Amino acid sequence: MLTKNILELQQSYGGPAVAECWKLMPGRAISLQPREAGVLRIAQGQVWATFDGPHPGHGNESGDHFLQAGQALAVRAGQRLVFEPWGKAGAAPVYFEWTRLPTADTVRAFRWHAAVVQPLHDGGRALLMTGCALLRSISARIAARA
């Protein structure tokens, strides 16, 4: 789940280039603090994004990032990120998407499904089809004798 502190956030349903993205209007900012790790991707526009400190490392590692269309930023679970439209493009809306990264539980569930559930489903379906074919064969033999 995603916790949002939003001044204005709208989901966009228009335009083929930015379909199913979120829209952030100029002069607005969003604060994210996800419960699960994820990736922020910029579909259109530019943003200035910053993580809460402390920021270890050299003086230029302040936690600030400038992202353009096509760029992405990974966010860890519980990490707080604030971003807003930036630069000349800051006069236009920014379109972005948030994608949760799969957790270990999700990966295990997928492996279980692929290794156990799907083969059982396929085997059951094959057995059903074999039974139907057998019934058709028996019906054809009975009809031929009559």
What order of strands is seen across the sheet that includes strand 46-51? 4-6, 30-32, 81-85, 46-51, 64-68
Measured CA to CA in angstroms, residue 74 lies from 15, 29, 89, 101 at distances of 26, 18, 22, 9
pLDDT tens, the chain, 146 aa long: 343 443 334 444 333 333 358 999 999 999 999 988 889 999 999 999 998 865 566 654 567 899 999 999 999 889 999 999 998 756 789 999 998 887 666 567 667 777 887 888 788 888 888 998 999 999 999 988 87
Q: Is the pTM of this model over 0.85?
A: no
